[in-house]
Structure 1
Amino acid sequence: MRKYTALFFLIMFMIGTDTFLVSPMLPTLQAQFGVSTGIAGWMIGGYTLGSAIFALIAGPLSDGWNRRTVMLSGLLAFSLSTILCGFADSFWTMCLFRFLAGVSAAFTAPQVWASIPMVLPASSIPKTMGIAFGGLAAAQALGVPIGSWLAAAHWSVPFWTIGALSLLLAAIAFSLLPDMKPSVPMGSSRASILSRYVPLITSSRARSGFFAYLLLHLGSGTAFAFVGKWMADRFELPIAQIGTVMMCLGFGTLLGSMVSGFVTRKMGPMRASTACMSLLVLLYVLLPQLTSLSVVAILYLIIFATLGIIFPLVMGALTELNASIRGTISSLANSTMNAANTLGAWLAGLLYVQLGGYASIGIFAAICLALSLAMFLYGGVFRKNEERTGKEATSVS
């Protein structure tokens, strides 16, 4: 079982690293292609746009196909499109190849979340979900320095490296993964894309779960968007030191994701989510009032470690809403996250400028987290996971 866990971690690490790869290279790429600052950001936005749009399509399609085939095809396309980024000869070809990489990631990443319950026993699902999410967290912590170090040789090297390693991962996945054919009847596998979402739309539990998931990411995304700005204003930190703090936040998320399965087994999904989200509500309100940089850094580490515990736990609960459309659920969760983070970044600017700086952002984040917890509990989103965890604990004892 460890081979699957390691494979899923590495796939998410590659996708996450590719997501963060362009950010430290943006000034270099801007000069390389001779574009203005106003449009240079599309070399980042092209990737997220492709991922966000096609995630809504990829999930429903993959639920009617063999997940092994979808994951292998997605990894191959992801590898080739990332390698092509290293051969881009203009700004628009770079945007195109980044868009294609995002589309490929939209087909690949949801298969990880959907495949975990299919190839692993129920007792291993929470832990593996946490480790897979840890791949994204590790990429968040290491994506910026990896891109910078590799780009020191040439701006193309990071793309070629990530692409080549992803191609190697595709070969490993080909040899390790079993067939994961759809559990739905053959006739229903031809259902339209929109019809795949009907079970979620008509389920009050699913509606509560996804609305709560939106609020969770809206609160955490809004608070994260202006972390660097607040640190620069409050503590007069240069960009290099802010980057170091950001790396620490990524390691905090990685730590939390690694212990998420343990915490879930010990406390149960409902108690673990209640404790973690209640702690976040308190910390988001308290954080902007602090004047010591070292204390702020410690609290940020705790916040992101706590988020690292929550996100795999919640993803596990969402994928259990309907076993026959796990790909659709995973893709919708991905799009929900991207939408919440985009909205959060916009709201953070308004709150920071118009309503009293980072303190207003902290209060907004706390309110979002409190409402999110209420929706999770009210909708009974963790009910099935709670029952399964209780049965496993009884069998062990």
Structure 2
Amino acid sequence: MSKFPALFFLIMFMIGTDTFLVSPLLPTLQAEFGVSTDSAGWMLSAYALGSAVFALIAGPLSDGWNRRVVLLCGLTAFSVCTFLCGLATDFWTMCLFRLLAGISAAFTAPQVWASIPSVLPPQRIARTMGLAFSGLAASQAFGVPIGSWLASGGWSVPFWTIGCASLLLAVFAYFALPSMPPMPSPSSSAGASTGLGAILRRYVPLARSGKARAGFLAYLLIHLGSGAAFAFSGKWLAEDFGLTVGEIGTAVIFLGLGNLLGSAISSSASRKLGAARTVAAAMLGAAALYALLPQLSPVSAATAVYFAICTLLGIVFPLVMGALTSLNASLRGTISSLANATMNGANTLGAWLAGLMFVHLGGYSAIGLFAAVCLAASLATFLAGGLFARESSRAASAGRPASN
């Protein structure tokens, strides 16, 4: 059993590191391919675009196939496409390979969240969800410095390293993971059909479920607030505290460690307090700290408070994902992919709104208040929707769709 948490942690670490990899390499790649700053951004956007768009398709498709096969194929394709990025000869081939890597990640990452309840007993699901999120948190903390360090041997080296490491993980997963055939869904008779109608039909039970609607709205609000706050945190640290780019990078690593800590202790907190109380306490604490954050003057105090916020959110996210995937056992891939798309969309919208607030509403104070309101509204939506009701836990433990 212990091999599964390690495998899922490493898969999410690789995907997360690949996501952040291009950022420190962007000036080098821009010079290498001779493109403008505006065009260079597409090397970042291509990956995100492929991941966000295809997640909505990959989830429903994976629920009609053997989940082990989908994960293995996605991880293998991810490793190959990432390796090919290191062989790109011009700007457009790099964008193509980044797009393909993002598409492959869209088929891989949701299978991790969907597979955890399938291969582990109920009492270990929350802890393993936390470890998988720890992989993402660790990539956020260490992905940029790892990429920069590997790039000292040439800009291609980070891509080749992650590609080879991911391929080794695919080999390990081939021997470690059991078969996970699709569960019969009472809402669809299409089976493994891949038509557009079959894909859309897998979203119908979620659209009809009040609990699912509330859960995804609350999930969107969490990322809308936290995404807005994080998007302009660097500019806030530079303008209000005079931090250099290097010092801001160190602060981001510190925040990633907070997220990692929260993910690691999430299941323990849930066992002691219960999922609903843990989520409520953590989200209320984070909301209060977001409102306080812009008012702090010493940079050490501001960083410490932001670290606490990241720790609290690190506690929340695994529990929320566990609750979402318990909504319907036959649609875990669809749910995980929709959660991924919701997160990306909310972060994008949050960054745009943060820019407007920073310019027109008095800087980071408005953003901190906005984040606090979003988290409070998210918590109210979670509680009103009953996502953490005991009925959901019993249904998940029994492997049945939760009642509406």
Per the normalisation by structure 1, the TM-score is 0.97
Matched, 1:108 2:114: no
Q: Which runs of no fewer than 5 residues in structure 2 stay unpaired?
A: 398-404
User: Is contact 1:287–1:362 with CA below 8 Å preserved after alignment?
Assistant: yes
Structure 1 partner of 2:34:
34
Structure 1 partner of 2:401:
none
SS in 1 for 2:191: helix
Structure 2 partner of 1:193:
199
Residue 47 of structure 1 deviates from its aligned partner by 0.3
Aligned mate of 1:305, from 294, 311, 319: 311
Residue 64 of structure 1 deviates from its aligned partner by 0.6
Aligned mate of 1:227, from 233, 237, 255: 233
SS in 2 for 1:189: coil
Matched, 1:375 2:377: no
Aligned mate of 1:314, from 320, 329, 342: 320
Aligned partners of 1:49 and 1:93: how far apart in 2? 16
Question: What root-mean-square deviation, in Å, do the aligned CA atoms of Structure 1 and Structure 2 show?
Answer: 1.4
Structure 1 partner of 2:275:
269
Matched, 1:260 2:266: yes
User: Is contact 2:87–2:156 with CA below 8 Å preserved after alignment?
Assistant: yes
SS in 1 for 2:153: coil
Which runs of structure 2 are paired with 1:138-217 in the superposition (5 Å)?
138-184=138-184, 187-190=189-192, 192-217=198-223
Q: Which amino acid aligns with 1:180?
A: M
Structure 1 partner of 2:402:
none
Aligned partners of 2:190 and 2:384: how far apart in 1? 32
Aligned partners of 1:340 and 1:385: how far apart in 2? 29
Aligned mate of 1:361, from 334, 357, 367: 367
Residue 187 of structure 1 deviates from its aligned partner by 4.2
SS in 2 for 1:237: coil
How has the CA–CA distance of structure 1 residues 285 and 207 changed in structure 2, closer, same or farther, with 3 Å as cutoff?
A: same
SS in 1 for 2:362: coil
Aligned partners of 1:84 and 1:20: how far apart in 2? 17
User: Is contact 2:113–2:129 with CA below 8 Å preserved after alignment?
Assistant: yes
Q: Which amino acid aligns with 1:241?
A: E
Matched, 1:81 2:61: no
Alignment coverage as a number of residue pairs:
391
User: Is contact 2:326–2:392 with CA below 8 Å preserved after alignment?
Assistant: no
Residue 281 of structure 1 deviates from its aligned partner by 1.1
Structure 1 partner of 2:119:
119
Aligned partners of 1:144 and 1:387: how far apart in 2? 37
User: Is contact 1:317–1:385 with CA below 8 Å preserved after alignment?
Assistant: no
Q: Which amino acid aligns with 2:191?
A: S
| Percent of aligned positions that are identical | 65
User: Is contact 2:218–2:379 with CA below 8 Å preserved after alignment?
Assistant: yes
Deviations 1:173-231 (A, max 9, x none): 00100000011169442351000000000011100000000001000000000000000
Q: Which amino acid aligns with 1:213?
A: Y
Aligned partners of 2:7 and 2:327: how far apart in 1? 25
SS in 2 for 1:205: helix
Q: Which runs of no fewer than 5 residues in structure 1 stay unpaired?
A: 392-397
Aligned partners of 1:381 and 1:33: how far apart in 2? 49
Aligned partners of 1:137 and 1:189: how far apart in 2? 36
User: Is contact 1:268–1:386 with CA below 8 Å preserved after alignment?
Assistant: no
Aligned partners of 1:133 and 1:388: how far apart in 2? 23
How has the CA–CA distance of structure 1 residues 155 and 9 changed in structure 2, closer, same or farther, with 3 Å as cutoff?
A: same
Structure 2 partner of 1:346:
352
Aligned partners of 2:393 and 2:7: how far apart in 1? 29
Structure 1 partner of 2:70:
70
Aligned mate of 1:240, from 246, 255, 265: 246
Residue 27 of structure 1 deviates from its aligned partner by 0.2
User: Is contact 2:79–2:164 with CA below 8 Å preserved after alignment?
Assistant: yes
